[in-house]
Amino acid sequence: MKTYIGTKIIQAEPMDRRTFHDTIRPFHGWPEDAENEAGYKVMYSDSYVSWSPKDVFEAAYREITPEEQSLLI
Cα separation, 62 vs 11, in Å, equals 11
The pLDDT of residue 47 is 94
Is the per-residue pLDDT at 2 higher than 90? Answer: yes
Give CA torsion, residues 67, 14, 17, 5, to 10 deg.
20
Q: Is the pTM of this model over 0.85?
A: no
Cα separation, 35 vs 18, in Å, equals 8
The pLDDT of residue 25 is 77
The pLDDT of residue 37 is 92
The pLDDT of residue 29 is 66
Express each pLDDT in 27-66 by its tens digit.
766 677 778 899 999 999 999 999 999 999 999 999 999 9
Task: Show the DSSP H helices in the chain as ranges.
Answer: 17-23, 54-60, 66-71
